[in-house]
Structure 1
Amino acid sequence: MKTTFVSSLAIQNAMRLTIQQSQTDIVATQYEMTSGQHYDLGVSLGGSTARSLDLDRELARMDSLKSTNSVVTLRLSASQTALSSMATAAQTARNALTALSGSSDVTLIDNARLSVKSALANFTTAANQTSAGEFIFSGINTDAKPMIDYTTSEGAGAKAAYQNALNGFMASQTPPLTSLADFSAAQMNDFISNTLEPMYLGNDWKANWSDASDQNMTSRISANEVVTSSTNINAVGARKFALASIIGMEMLSADMKSEARNVLSSKTISYFSEAEAGINAQRSELGVSEQRVKGANTALDAQVKLMTTHKTDLDGVDTYQASLKMTSLKTQLETALTLTGRLQQLSLVNYL
């Protein structure tokens, strides 16, 4: 009979390797228990790893789109609220002028003028609204304040342009006019329709009133869908609101013939009505974008749910089995540590 001797050092080294392997397995199992996924996809899935990575990329892209869509939704909502305030301002000013009904009563005229001034202030405040630190009515020039405040020093250029237009028109008449009191009904209609209106619908608007861009922002809301996600203050509705406001503020309370005042009131009411219609048209356009974003989010949610389920089936683990494995590994580790401790206590000195 032959006896083979095994040193205690060899046994200790074997136990040490067992402990290291158990500790490594515990880390991997702990990850699988908490995440529900394989610790090492390459080892666990083999050739299917590429599919899992593709799903991760798609899910990340969809999360990015949903995050972008939330910003778009916030901007569209803020724009709708501001446009609603603008439409209300136009309606309020129009009603105040309609109530005037051609009256020459100074008090009624002054009250109507104050209503127009207040409406312009409210309109300007709404036009300069921001969302997430960006001006929502500046088109792509989101860092530029879209509309000047006519009642402050910002309005100096617009006031000068109006005064120059008035002076030029009065000087061009035969005989030249010296004040608004000299205007006939026909001349008042001519001045408003052929001098002031072309100014506000033309280059004077951008020169003296607006720093906004005509180009609106667009946003990708899905893989193959892009929507207009903003509007701008250069639209016809805003221009006609400003035109009506200047006519009401600068001319309504001036001394003039009743026929000329009637023309002035009628034109101003008409411009406010057109402004409200234009603003509501902008609201409708943004409403379409809101519905498209909502539909895109619904589709994205469905795709995310489907891909998440597929990914879970592909690289998910049974957390219950992982828990059982964890218990087994801990028992194995404790046994190895106990044996190692006992082996370290073996010594010939204890037997001498």
Structure 2
Amino acid sequence: MKTTSVSTAALSQSLRFSLVRAQMELTRAQKELQTGKVADTGLALGAGTARTVSLTRDFERMQGIVDSNSLISGRLKITQDALKQIAEASQTFLSTLTTSSSGDALGNVTQASARTMLDQLTGILNTSYNGEHIFAGTNTDVTPIDDFTAPGSGAKAAFDAAFQAHFGFSKTDPAAASITAAEMDGFLASAVEPQFLGSGWEANWSSATDQKIVSRVTLTETTETSVSANDVGMRKLAMAAATITDLFDGNLGPGARQALIDRAFTLVSEAVGSIADLQATTGLIEKRVSDATARLNVQIDLFERQIGNLVSVDPYEAKTRVDALLGQVEVSYALTARFQQLSLLRFLS
């Protein structure tokens, strides 16, 4: 008869291997109990893993778009609030111009109103949200509008140079009092309009781009989600406010001043309508983003349930398995300790 030798070392080593396996299974079971999902998708699903990976990828993409839409909605809300402020300021300015046109307002009152309009317009168009300028088009890291009243303003320097070049003297020269209404209209049409409604706007006033931010709001849908300071309504407001702010400081006569007021009234009236259109367009974009987010949330819920059906585990079964493995590990520790205490010398003694 052949006998196989048995040693306490062999038994101890065998228990150690069993303990390691039990600890690994316990770690996996505890993870499943904590997450509610299988610890190893490939091991649990086999060939079905590809479907889970595809569903998870689409789920994460949609969740990322929903998060992005939240930021877009915040930016659009700030934009809408800013447009409302500009609309209110322009209405106030228009009321002053109406009074001035009828001769019932003093020149300093008209100039003060124009200065207020210009300061508010500049401040609002330079508004930032989350570190990005919301009216800068795609140049979100650049302040879009030059401050006309600030020292060293390039826009003001270009405006004063245009006046000097057109008339041959400065606005403070006594000769400015002889400028007629027709001459002022000619100056506004030939020298001032190009600075605001032409290429001079980008050269001296604006660092914004005409191109607006285009954002993906669903997996297959994109839309413009910003407003540019280069909108014609903003330009007309700036022209009306800047011309009166600057030239009413000079020695212009009544005829030239009246021409400025009349032109400003026309510009602001047109700008009010343009800004109302911007508000309506922005509102439509807000609704579109909101609807897109709602549709995505429905899809996310469906994907989440499909993924859950594939990888979720029964919490009661997972708890039972963890308890069983904990008991097994504890028994293994106890047996290993008992075997380590076995000794021939201790037996003989």
TM-score (norm 2): 0.89
Work out which of the residue numbers 296, 299, 304 in structure 2 matches 1:303: 299
Deviation of residue 168 (structure 1)? 4.6
1:226 aligns with 222
Deviation of residue 226 (structure 1)? 0.8
Opposite residue 138 of structure 1, the aligned amino acid is A
Deviation of residue 8 (structure 1)? 3.3
Deviation of residue 6 (structure 1)? 4.1
1:122 aligns with 120
1:49 aligns with 49
Deviation of residue 336 (structure 1)? 2.1
1:260 to 1:334, Cα distance in 2 relative to 1, 3 A: closer
Opposite residue 135 of structure 2, the aligned amino acid is F
Work out which of the residue numbers 135, 144, 165 in structure 2 matches 1:137: 135
* Alpha-carbon distance between aligned partners in 2 of 1:334 and 1:283, rounded to the nearest angstrom: 70
Q: Which moved more, 1:86-95 or 1:335-344?
A: 335-344
Work out which of the residue numbers 203, 206, 209 in structure 2 matches 1:210: 206
1:149 is the counterpart of 2:152: no
**Superposition map of 1:65-144 within 5 A:** 65-103=65-103, 108-144=106-142
1:61 aligns with 61
> 1:102–1:262: 8 Å Cα contact kept in structure 2?
no
Opposite residue 50 of structure 2, the aligned amino acid is A
* Alpha-carbon distance between aligned partners in 1 of 2:325 and 2:160, rounded to the nearest angstrom: 90
* RMSD, aligned CA: 2.6
2:156 aligns with 159
1:315 is the counterpart of 2:286: no
Opposite residue 128 of structure 1, the aligned amino acid is N
Show structure 1 runs of 5+ residues with no match: 172-176
State the secondary structure of the residue aligned to 1:227. Answer: strand
State the secondary structure of the residue aligned to 1:138. Answer: coil
Opposite residue 235 of structure 1, the aligned amino acid is D
Opposite residue 249 of structure 1, the aligned amino acid is T
Q: Which moved more, 1:329-338 or 1:186-195?
A: 186-195
> 2:174–2:251: 8 Å Cα contact kept in structure 1?
no
Deviations 1:215-249 (A, max 9, x none): 11111111111111212111111111111112322
State the secondary structure of the residue aligned to 2:217. Answer: strand
> 1:12–1:343: 8 Å Cα contact kept in structure 2?
yes
Deviation of residue 50 (structure 1)? 1.0
Opposite residue 242 of structure 2, the aligned amino acid is I
- Equivalent residue pairs, number: 345
Deviation of residue 167 (structure 1)? 4.2
Q: Which moved more, 1:78-87 or 1:42-51?
A: 78-87
> 1:136–1:230: 8 Å Cα contact kept in structure 2?
yes
> 1:148–1:154: 8 Å Cα contact kept in structure 2?
no
* Alpha-carbon distance between aligned partners in 1 of 2:161 and 2:343, rounded to the nearest angstrom: 112
Deviation of residue 320 (structure 1)? 1.0
Opposite residue 102 of structure 1, the aligned amino acid is S
Deviation of residue 65 (structure 1)? 1.4
TM-score (norm 1): 0.88
* Alpha-carbon distance between aligned partners in 2 of 1:254 and 1:94, rounded to the nearest angstrom: 22
> 2:118–2:238: 8 Å Cα contact kept in structure 1?
yes
**Superposition map of 1:179-258 within 5 A:** 179-252=175-248, 258=254
1:325 aligns with 321
* Alpha-carbon distance between aligned partners in 2 of 1:181 and 1:37, rounded to the nearest angstrom: 84
